[in-house]
Amino acid sequence: MYPGRHAATTPDKPAVIEAATGKIVTYRDLEDRSVQFAHWLTGQGLGPGDHLAVLSVNDARVFEIYWGAVRSGMVVTFVNTHLTPSEVSYIVDDCEARALVVSARLAELATAVVDSTPKVRSRLAFGGAVPGHDDYDQAIASLSTSPPCDQPRGSDMLYSSGTTGRPKGIMVAPTDDQIGDEPGPQFVGLLRNFGFDENSVYFSPAPIYHAAPLRYGAGAHALGGTVVMADRFDAESSLQFLERYRVSHSQWVPTHFIRMLKLPEAVRNRYDVSSMKVAIHAAAPCPPEVKRAMIDWWGEILYEYYSSTESVGSTVITTQEWLRKPGSVGRGQGATSRAHICAEDGTELPAGQVGHIYFARPGHSFEYHNDPVKTAQSRHPRNPGWVTTGDIGYLDEDDYLFLTDRAKFVIISGGVNIYPQEIENVLAVHPKVSDVAVIGVPDEDMGQSVHAVVEPGPGVVGDDTLVAELLDYCRGRIAGYKCPRSVAFVTELPRTPTGKLAKAALQA
């Protein structure tokens, strides 16, 4: 069972490289330490179906912890490290974790949740001492590196970003064709479609607790490739890492693109990124002007996909397709992942009409942990095999999907639907804007009016002059009724590390 299959053939090959430090974890290291951790879990009386929670920064050891849990048949939850103690406690308690592993770099946060997570029976910390936790390295050091005889397949249960409310655990049922050493056939298959193989070098600067970095990293391991893990995103450092490690595959969110594009041209041209064969982006809509600029810079290697932690379905679009269908996120992947656009009552809508996005994926099932009501709301009212995560959009005549926004964020002004994403796409590329969010605010006459919250660029003053400049910029690019009626300036927007705007916090 993996990671032993690659440890047996290429034991000294890097499985993980920490980008900033150059630390290498070989496949032999990954196999041995994941086996030792699996034995520790067994020694704690934990096994198939039990839950493990992990609270960690981007550290190479998270993969040995992940694979140790998966090869023990356990369910593993990686927790957002940017949450408050009460929010972390909620997730650890809600997922019913019986063991918790933490990074010492998060010692203050880990210590703060000890008393409020009574279901946890065993606690480990790596990278230093944390009060109330045993030392991870000492705990597994003397344990066997011989794989257990029985290695049932485990899984992850990740939590939603919580951008529209309290995060919910998403339990995806394994499919019959999933084998024990894969994080899920939909991910390994998707990676193969992107050209991943044993020679791939995959770079991700996003937090490991998010679905894509974790699952794509594990998928790269399943295929025998190398994962280059950045501890955080930095625009210029990311370019350095692409050159230094000869990265072949990378994954980004649009915010990363915007910040790299705003580097001085001389800095951008300083680094050789020609090793990249595929640059994947997802997680949030990408403004078309930003994507065109990235294509001009990196060439026709951009691939965009639209999916979700729920894995209800996905679309993919190549650069060549996108140039024909700018703004689209692609078409469903085969007959088993088809998109449908439906009205509020469930009626399927024709091409060009905006509605809720449903996917029909036979044989796939998920549920929101401890929330049967939310689970039921995700199902189509008449076709229970169709599911939605609350996004809205439309299909064109060729079945290419275009996203408009989350249903909860649509602004209804004077009875007309206005989609914030369209306005955000315009303002995001203004040279004096670092980040932007558009929300609806109460309006006595119109019900709601369009309100832009802007994070000015470095050295830019947010004042009435800039307001006038931004409004004039919008008027030349979108219809007048969509233009903001008011603008506010903030030092930083509440955006998750995975690039999603926490609009519920803004609206509150």
At residue 72, what are phi and psi to the nearest 5 degrees? -100, 5
| Burial (Cβ within 10 Å: 0-12, 13-18, ≥19) of residue 284 | middle
Mean pLDDT of the chain: 90
213-253, pLDDT tens digit by residue?
999 999 999 999 999 999 999 999 999 999 999 999 999 98
Residue 395 pLDDT greater than 80, yes or no: yes
Q: Is the Cα dihedral 495, 501, 502, 504 positive or negative?
A: positive
Between 288 and 42, name the one with better pLDDT: 42
For the domain made up of 4-222, give the CATH fold: Rossmann fold (3.40.50)
Give the ranges where 181-305 is alpha helix by DSSP (H).
Answer: 185-193, 211-222, 235-244, 254-261, 265-268, 288-298
What is the pLDDT at residue 176? Answer: 47
Q: Is residue 139 a contact partner of residue 133, using CB atoms and an 8 Å limit?
A: no
Domain ranges, ordered by start, for the chain: 4-222, 336-407, 410-507
Residue 106 pLDDT greater than 50, yes or no: yes
Residue 11 pLDDT greater than 80, yes or no: yes
For the domain made up of 336-407, give the CATH fold: Luciferase; domain 3 (2.30.38)
Closest CA to 384 of 370, 367, 371, 399: 367
Q: Give the separation between CA 330 and CA 470, rounded to whole angstroms.
A: 31
Q: Is residue 52 a contact partner of residue 46, using CB atoms and an 8 Å limit?
A: yes
What is the pLDDT at residue 177? Answer: 46
What is the pLDDT at residue 506? Answer: 80
Give the confidence band of 169 by pLDDT, cuts at 50, 70, 90: very high
52-72, pLDDT tens digit by residue?
999 999 999 999 999 999 999
8-state DSSP, 330: B
For the domain made up of 410-507, give the CATH fold: GMP Synthetase; Chain A, domain 3 (3.30.300)
**CA distances (Å), origin 89, targets 132, 135, 354:** 15, 21, 39
What is the pLDDT at residue 285? Answer: 75
Q: Is residue 47 a contact partner of residue 148, using CB atoms and an 8 Å limit?
A: no
179-216, pLDDT tens digit by residue?
555 555 456 777 888 999 999 999 999 999 988 899 99
Q: Is residue 200 a contact partner of residue 225, using CB atoms and an 8 Å limit?
A: yes
320-358, pLDDT tens digit by residue?
999 999 999 999 876 556 899 999 899 999 999 999 999
Share of the chain above pLDDT 90, in %: 66
Between 27 and 365, name the one with better pLDDT: 27
Residue 406 pLDDT greater than 80, yes or no: no
**Average of per-residue pLDDT across 284-292:** 86
| Burial (Cβ within 10 Å: 0-12, 13-18, ≥19) of residue 154 | buried
115-124, 406-415, 464-473: which range is least confident on average? 406-415
